[in-house]
Amino acid sequence: MRWNWAALMALAVLAGCGDNLAGPPPAPPPALTFGPVGSLTAPSGRGGFRFGAASAATQIEDMNPSTDWYLYTRPTADGGLGQGVFVGDAAGGYTRALEDVQLLRDTHLDSYRFSIEWARIEPERDHIDEAALAHYDALIDALVAAHIRPVVTLHHFSNPVWVDDPRDTGCTNGPGDANLCGLGGPGGADVVAEMAEHAALLAARYGDRVDEWGTLNEPINYLLASQGLGVFPPGKRKLFSLLEEFVPVIRDYLAAHAAMYAAIKAADTVDADGDGVAAAVGLSLNVVDWVATNNHRPSDDPVDLAARDTAIYLYHHLVVEALTQGKFDPNLDGTLDEDQPTWRGTLDWLGVQYYFRTGVSGHRAVIPVVNLNPCANGLDFGACLPPEDITWCVPTMGYEFYADGLHDILVDFSTRYPALPLVVSESGIATEVGARRAETVVRILEAIARARAEGVDVRGYYHWSLFDNFEWAEGFVPRFGLYHVDYATFARTPTLGATVLGDIAARRGVTSDERVLYGGSGPMTPEPSVPADATSCLGLGE
Ligand code: BGC
């Protein structure tokens, strides 16, 4: 049964007006408190908490022509490939980087997770752009001066063109003719070494001020989109040759993580924040609340339950198991039986990025070997949930935001890896409505607080995103920002989400009143011009 505090209070008041009093109104929900700003990984940081926001360079930065995304999305008349919506000057976030630090201050955030654009630092192989390095120096200095802890992501969905040239999607695993393949992207012969070299450069340059590093952003999701389904550059479609072509790319990308981990540890030896840890290196995974389904209904058929468990393994656990144990699962059969000793113990923290709940079925499976059929991106075949089961449709993304799902996922990670500190390194919603964003903030914090009260070591929440930006294949329509961006002027304007998160971060807790107004699990404030029956969440492949 769905509920929210405001509805319960209203019911209680109504009941009090009648002859038959239904008893005292329910007690308001208690305030939630979060700990002080703490270390992401040191044992002393347990109990502490970060209130932050996240972004990624390609999604926000203007004047960024050396990325695969720029070439891929640029109109053909201008020499690009004309795929999807042109990223152009994105949200103007390069020119405005220092001004945007003020947005973090205004929101009382204590940490900022952002990425450094590899293509900008090294626009051509072995040519390092000193001005770009200096730009990120200035950003990091401004953050440190404002007591905002930088968490730097090294690889967030984009490459320099020389690493992965989207002009020839036929290239596989290595340089091809006419220099059109670049190095072949993740999976390419020299790419692991190049990524490690890049990581060493950044760690040496910024390690005196940065202690927290994320190597890869959502590795499985990224590889599925770029190399599996071809919706991100370079547009390769290897998913349907799963074991032969796609799995080797996963292996190489994880090898790149391990090489970057070692490079950062060697190059960043300065403990900038005094927590006893010079370099805390982790990565972020996208996690999903997978529900077993069949024929558009929740299902307890063992075939569907097995598909759900497989989806959880592939999305949530394959990467973590591989990097903690130093083993890989080349057949995706659930057994990690390939030794990768250099991978072992290369995860100091795990970022969890949660956006939605969705169905997965084992019937009419469309993906070979793993035998599952998810409701996502055009794949349905009965796996999508019916409209009446969809609580919070996010129409511009076509999925359902379901805050409670995060709690169970956090508990699952904590149970399996009790020594691994967790951080919600992204969570947010695409919406035009400030109240919906405020509801998202409070409900996600409620889910995190519930997990923390049960002993789960979650050390922070980074809202995605600080301001509206380029949402990859979806372009500029979905708005994820705490701050609204006017794309004609790049002006930033706070949403109610920024105000509410700012109040919460300033006092490091959620009040009872905020929970009454925005919390619980009842219906969210509707998105204007979108039918409340949420059928647009069923538009996936139907
Ligand atoms: C990615 C972001 C993206 C966000 C919202 C995450 O998967 O890391 O780059 O914008 O989700 O879709």
Over residues 250-305, the pLDDT tens digits come to 999 999 999 999 999 999 999 999 999 999 999 999 999 999 999 889 999 999 99
Asked if residue 15 has pLDDT above 90, the reply is no
**Ligand 1 centre and the CA of 189: distance in Å?**
28
Residue 475 one-letter amino acid:
G
51 Cβ partners below 8 Å, 6+ apart?
Answer: 34, 108, 109, 110, 111, 460, 461, 501, 504, 505, 508
Report the pLDDT value the prediction gives residue 177, as an integer from 0 to 100.
43
Q: Is 440 in the pocket of ligand 1 (CB under 6 A)?
A: no
- Give the pLDDT mean for 315-325: 98
Asked if residue 83 has pLDDT above 80, the reply is yes
Closest CA to 142 of 196, 177, 104: 104
**Ligand 1 centre and the CA of 470: distance in Å?**
10
Report the pLDDT value the prediction gives residue 186, as an integer from 0 to 100.
79
Asked if residue 21 has pLDDT above 70, the reply is no
Per the prediction, the chain carries an average pLDDT of: 90
Longest dimension (CA), the chain: 85
- Give the pLDDT mean for 5-21: 39
> What separation in angstroms does the CA of 521 have from each of 154, 327, 443, 502?
35, 40, 7, 22
pLDDT band at 379 (very low <50, low <70, confident <90, very high): low
Asked if residue 498 has pLDDT above 80, the reply is yes
Ligand 1 atom nearest to 286, measured from its CA: 7
**Ligand 1 centre and the CA of 481: distance in Å?**
12
Closest CA to 165 of 188, 185, 146: 185
Asked if residue 453 has pLDDT above 70, the reply is yes
**Ligand 1 centre and the CA of 359: distance in Å?**
20
- Domains within the chain, CATH numbers bracketed: 31-539 (3.20.20.80)
Report the pLDDT value the prediction gives residue 389, as an integer from 0 to 100.
78
- Give the pLDDT mean for 145-159: 98
Q: Are 361 and 372 in contact (CB under 8 A)?
A: yes
In the chain the first and final C-alpha atoms are separated, in Å, by 27
Q: List, as one string, the DSSP characters of 146-209.
A: TT-EEEEEEESS--BTTTB-TT-TT--SS--GGG-SBT-STTSTTHHHHHHHHHHHHHHHHTTT
Percent of residues, the chain, with pLDDT higher than 90: 77
pLDDT band at 4 (very low <50, low <70, confident <90, very high): very low
> What separation in angstroms does the CA of 301 have from each of 291, 298, 489?
12, 9, 53
Continuous segment of H or E residues that includes residue 33: strand 32-33
Percent of residues, the chain, with pLDDT higher than 70: 90
pLDDT band at 420 (very low <50, low <70, confident <90, very high): very high
Asked if residue 527 has pLDDT above 90, the reply is no
pLDDT band at 3 (very low <50, low <70, confident <90, very high): very low
Q: Which long-range contacts (CB under 8 A, 24 or more apart) does 411-417 make?
A: 411/451, 411/454, 411/456, 412/312, 412/316, 413/316, 413/320, 413/350, 413/352, 413/456, 414/451, 414/455, 414/456, 414/457, 416/317, 416/320, 417/320, 417/324, 417/350
Report the pLDDT value the prediction gives residue 332, as an integer from 0 to 100.
97
Look up the pTM and report it. 0.94
Asked if residue 185 has pLDDT above 80, the reply is no
**Ligand 1 centre and the CA of 30: distance in Å?**
32
Asked if residue 17 has pLDDT above 60, the reply is no
Tokens of 167: 């002009």
Q: Is 56 in the pocket of ligand 1 (CB under 6 A)?
A: yes
pLDDT band at 391 (very low <50, low <70, confident <90, very high): confident
Q: List, as one string, the DSSP characters of 451-480.
A: HHHTT--EEEEEEE-SB----GGGTTSS--
Q: Is 217 in the pocket of ligand 1 (CB under 6 A)?
A: yes
Asked if residue 14 has pLDDT above 60, the reply is no
Report the pLDDT value the prediction gives residue 181, as an integer from 0 to 100.
59
Q: What is the pLDDT of residues 40-57, one digit of tens each?
A: 999 999 999 999 999 999
Q: Are 72 and 160 in contact (CB under 8 A)?
A: no
Distance from C-alpha of 73 to C-alpha of 83, rounded to nearest angstrom: 5
Report the pLDDT value the prediction gives residue 492, as an integer from 0 to 100.
98
Report the pLDDT value the prediction gives residue 484, as an integer from 0 to 100.
98
Distance from C-alpha of 139 to C-alpha of 269, rounded to nearest angstrom: 21
Distance from C-alpha of 399 to C-alpha of 384, rounded to nearest angstrom: 10
311 Cβ partners below 8 Å, 6+ apart?
Answer: 288, 290, 360, 372, 374
Lowest-confidence region among 198-207, 272-281, 517-526: 517-526
CA dihedral 504, 34, 320, 118 (to 10 degrees): 40
Distance from C-alpha of 388 to C-alpha of 219, rounded to nearest angstrom: 33
Q: Give residue for tokens 């929210």.
A: 4
